[in-house]
């Protein structure tokens, strides 16, 4: 925690999360990382129930929902802590894409949809997925989309091809982005529609291998075909044609969630790097940490992680005060800045561990496989940099 960003409420709840993660998750990681997800889930479900009983469940939910009602600034710091374990967010029901879908449905779904889908999702009784990216179109331009939803009677009929739909395997439903108004302006063509995964015409083609690991369950990214997939018109989330707007609203806080999660991963990787540097004997009586290259990596990593944390917490504070739209430049900045630092710190830690770093005996290789995409998903680095630069240059026009 950073003192200037710490509230009294955060001071009171943070130690409980820290103790739980260190005592319940760290000792189990080596075993859990080697198990298929559905096997690991049997152990994790026990941990989830314990988290519920301790009042640590979904702390971002409002107090009226029986939770803590943490602000974005408070939750960001808890999220960093959760991320120090590959299973932290899942155990506390804070995992993507569910956390984003919970926030989306809470604000924009009808009462009937909330009863059917949101409430069991908040309780952790079901999982969900978010189906937007398509293999035929550049994901860096989200207005390009081939999936369509047309109205026939009282139903939406959905046809399309999606991929990298995270956690679709075993999910109860998908929030699908589809073109419903092809003649409208680019940012008003798409809508969001809930599609239960057992709907006829919903086909999970495969879990896409990520650097050789297809995974299963929550730890997977699916390719999906929607063929004559019919759902009620009442499954529309928000207004027709508002899909892009809702996606942007969902992604703003989501990017802060990602960034604080990445910082948590960096902290754990940094801790492991330092410990390895002091423990590894070089065979000549010296330790790995006595080598200048390792010392440079440690110093650079410490400075970069600190800088990233302050940037993200400042953005979270401003989002709480002003809303996501007012801090879109800051959100773009932290997205590419923290993603780059994540890759650097993970790589240094793996290199410091040598061959051990390549194995699943530590969490490093798991994170390296699954988090290299940080510089691609939720907007590739290049798009965020270009957007930020254009915004900056606008201020210079006419000077």
Pairing mode, if any, of strands 202-207 and 215-216? Answer: unpaired
Confidence (pLDDT) at 52: 96
Side-chain half-sphere exposure of 296, counting CA atoms within 13 A: 4
Q: Whole-prediction pTM value? A: 0.93
Determine the Cα–Cα distance for residues 173 and 190; give it in Å rounded to an integer. Answer: 19
Contacts of 133 (CB under 8 A, 6+ apart): 139, 162, 163, 164, 165
In degrees rounded to 5, what are phi and psi of residue 188? -130, 15
Q: Which residues of the chain have pLDDT under 70?
A: 399
Confidence (pLDDT) at 399: 64
Domains of the chain, CATH where assigned: 3-94 (1.10.540.10), 128-241 (2.40.110.10), 244-394 (1.20.140.10)
Beta-bridge partner residues of 216: 219
Sequence length of the chain is 399
Confidence (pLDDT) at 139: 78
- Do residues 180 and 252 touch, judged by C-beta distance below 8 A? no
Long-range contact set of residues 227-230: C-beta below 8 Å, sequence gap at least 24? 227/159, 227/201, 227/203, 228/157, 228/159, 228/200, 228/201, 229/157, 229/158, 229/159, 229/195, 229/199, 229/200, 229/201, 229/202, 230/152, 230/155, 230/156, 230/157, 230/158, 230/199, 230/200, 230/201
pLDDT digits (tens, 9 = 90+) for 234-285: 999 999 999 999 998 888 888 899 999 999 999 999 999 999 999 999 999 8
Determine the Cα–Cα distance for residues 230 and 154; give it in Å rounded to an integer. Answer: 10
Determine the Cα–Cα distance for residues 101 and 261; give it in Å rounded to an integer. Answer: 18
Q: What does the angle CA 272 – CA 14 – CA 334 come to, to the nearest 5 degrees?
A: 65
End-to-end CA distance of the chain: 42
CA-to-CA dists, residue 367 to 41, 129, 134, 214, angstroms: 18, 21, 24, 14
What is the SS3 assignment for 107? helix
Q: What is the CA radius of gyration of the chain?
A: 22
């Amino acid at each position: 925690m950073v003192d200037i960003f710490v509230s009294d409420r955060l001071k009171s709840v943070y130690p409980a999360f820290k103790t739980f993660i260190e005592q319940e998750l760290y000792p189990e990681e080596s075993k859990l990382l080697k198990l298929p997800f559905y096997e690991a889930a049997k152990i994790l479900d026990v941990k989830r129930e314990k988290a519920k009983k301790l009042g640590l469940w979904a702390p971002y939910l409002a107090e009226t929902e029986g939770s803590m009602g943490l602000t974005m600034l408070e939750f960001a710091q808890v999220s960093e802590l959760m991320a120090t374990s590959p299973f932290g967010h899942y155990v506390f029901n804070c995992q993507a894409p569910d956390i984003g879908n919970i926030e989306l449905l809470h604000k924009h779904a009808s009462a009937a949809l909330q009863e059917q889908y949101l409430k069991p999702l908040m309780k952790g009784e079901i999982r969900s997925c978010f189906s937007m990216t398509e293999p035929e179109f550049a994901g860096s331009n989200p207005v390009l989309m081939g999936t369509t939803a047309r109205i026939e009677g009282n139903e939406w009929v959905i046809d399309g091809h999606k991929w990298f739909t995270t956690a679709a395997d075993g999910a109860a439903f998908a929030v699908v982005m589809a073109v419903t108004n092809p003649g409208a302006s680019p940012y008003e063509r798409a809508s969001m529609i809930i599609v239960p995964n057992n709907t006829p015409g919903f086909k999970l083609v495969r879990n896409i291998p990520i650097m050789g690991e297809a995974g299963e369950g929550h730890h997977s990214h699916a390719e999906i075909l929607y063929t004559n997939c019919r759902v009620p018109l009442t499954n529309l989330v928000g207004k027709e044609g508002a899909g892009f707007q809702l996606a942007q609203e969902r992604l703003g806080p989501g990017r802060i969630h990602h960034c604080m999660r990445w910082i948590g991963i960096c902290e754990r990787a940094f801790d492991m790097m330092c410990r390895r540097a002091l423990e590894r004997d070089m065979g000549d009586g010296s330790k790995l940490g006595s080598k200048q290259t390792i010392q440079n990596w440690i110093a650079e990593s410490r400075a970069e992680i600190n800088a990233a944390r302050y940037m993200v917490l400042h953005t979270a504070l401003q989002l709480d005060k002003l809303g996501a739209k007012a801090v879109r430049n800051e959100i773009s900045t932290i997205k590419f800045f923290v993603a780059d630092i994540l890759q650097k710190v993970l790589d240094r830690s793996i290199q410091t561990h040598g061959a051990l770093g390549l194995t699943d005996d530590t969490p490093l290789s798991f994170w390296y496989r699954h988090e290299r995409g940080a510089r691609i998903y939720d907007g590739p680095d290049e798009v965020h940099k270009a957007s930020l630069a254009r915004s900056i240059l606008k201020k210079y026009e006419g000077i």
